[in-house]
A and B are shown apart, each in its own frame.
Chain A
Amino acid sequence: MTVLEVQGLRRSFAGLRAVDGVSFGIDQGEVVSVIGPNGSGKTTALNLVSGVLRPDEGRVLFQGRDVTGLRPERLAEAGLSRTFQNGRVFGNLSVAENVLIGLTPTLRAARPLARWRDIPVLRWLSLLAETAVALVDPPSVRRELAEREAEVESQLDRFGDRLRPRAEAAAHTLSYANRRRTEIARALASGPALLVLDEPTAGMNPVETAEVLEQLLALKAAGQTILLVEHKIDLVMRLSDRVLVLDAGTVIASGPPDEVRNDPRVIEAYLGKRRPAVRP
């Protein structure tokens, strides 16, 4: 089954075509990577897919539904989670609270009448109900919170002793790598149908990178569908089912990793006219 289908996406900034007619699809359980030189439009493509930016043209289908131009929070509720290239954590919240925020779409008791959120005026009934519940704090909400906190624990366990001992620390006190981990834990918490990662290992050392690779392989083995933007070719090669190469906003190559790696257009895009020594 196709989880994500992208058709002819375009987006320009002040005349610059950042994404210029990109199409691709991702099947259930697949890991698809997008690579390309800096400024080739990878992040913009992810922003378009995740609703953070609106496309000028093109369509995005998520689990068979047209979600083009849908707001990011709606996409998140629908099961699309993402991380950001430079890492966006909630600095003054603890690590555990950061992950708890990732569970927001799964809250029921604390967010009553959530279905009414799409209806202009009635939405306020839902918001007021949420306020009332927050003030009263009934047992159902407390029970739900306890469940979600347990869920947070298990998410933190994924990162072993990297995050566990720091669960109560404010996120802005974390190391860069730990912030990225926190972000990934937050994105995974709600059990998304599609996980979108923008350079998850940027700024990590080889040991940390290897650790992330292991975790992603484990996720893949568990059937997680992933859309990945990454610079580290080794990681992409080991993880991906398919690779898309972007240059100047267009897909210049796509296919299984081995095939793409030896595509002369890709080599040219990455390294200019010189003949590269591609590492095995």
Chain B
Amino acid sequence: MISRRGLFTAAAGVGATAVLASCGRLSGEQTAAAPAPAAGPIFFGVSAPLSGASAEYGKIWRTGFDLALDEINGAGGVKGRKIELLWEDTQSDQKQSVPVAQKFAGDSRILAELGDFASPASMAASPVYEKAHLVQFGFTNSHPDFTKGGEYMWSTSTTQQDHAPELADLAKSLGTKQAVYYINTDWGKTTWKLYEEHAKKSGYEIVHSEAVQADGSDFRPSLINGRDKGADVLVFIAYYQAAALLTQQAKNVGLAQAKIALPSSAYSPQYVALGGEATEGAQLIVRFHPGDPRPQVREFVDKYQKRYGKQPDDFGAGAYDALKILAWAVEHSDGTREGVRKALLEGKEIPSLLYGPFSFREDRRVTTPKSTRLVVKGGAFTLVGA
């Protein structure tokens, strides 16, 4: 029988050998990924919530992606090759988005990545993509720090910096005493901070502000607070579900007369569908709306409507646009991961559904054109003043 000590010494020895043998993989540097195959389909990884609480956004993404894929591949693909997506479910949870990033990074067929949905899930995975020199296209990641994660982090999402002041201006135009409710997520909090900054500078009067739970169901006690402070305009910094609930419950606590102002993330036909009559008269600022007369938008909306039987929302349009932009970048690259980044960096007049021809700023974001104001009228979104 071998002694215990002997065993452990042997174990340590073999362990040390293994450590030495794998020295290259221990240092932070990524060994260059195998070159991408030059034929066969081109792959993009999608890191998305397909199950869990955010699953519905993953589903909306799929509508936009599928539509774009059909268009691109129907027209012969990119560089004569079809584009395919590799989906991975992360539940938008950083515990899962990091290994998924590792998986994509190690898959040499993948030229770029789309997602994740929530900024925290994306940001946790950023170091992996950065090391693998793989573009992480976080097209819904509005966190100001997301694209600061590295050279390979790109986004077409509006940042809260642009958006929050516009929202405050919208609210100001609707009333004098603002009550602001923001969902208690990183996004909600950041938007609120920027909102408050702008409102203070501009001398707007905020009579009440409160963080509410993103997945909450009963907001009445919070809304009563705003009512008792005499608010005449309510701002809901939230996604459409919470925004719809807040809107309905505002009526219940006797805030029927107060005007409602919403950010573009609440923009979805679902907002009206969920909120019902209470949403009548609510105003939003959006970067995309299906009523936009630009021919490109008309064509997209028609196709979307025909295929899915409903109007696209911000997330559907964003997904469609993101995939098309990446396809454009591949087309204008040498077919490598690095090439995709270069194309995005150097591209002028990149075609886009949301922004028209644009180029990325130095911080790898897009300068958002002035947003459009919409109002809910007769159960539909219409341009203010139309």
Are A and B in direct contact (Cβ within 8 Å)? no
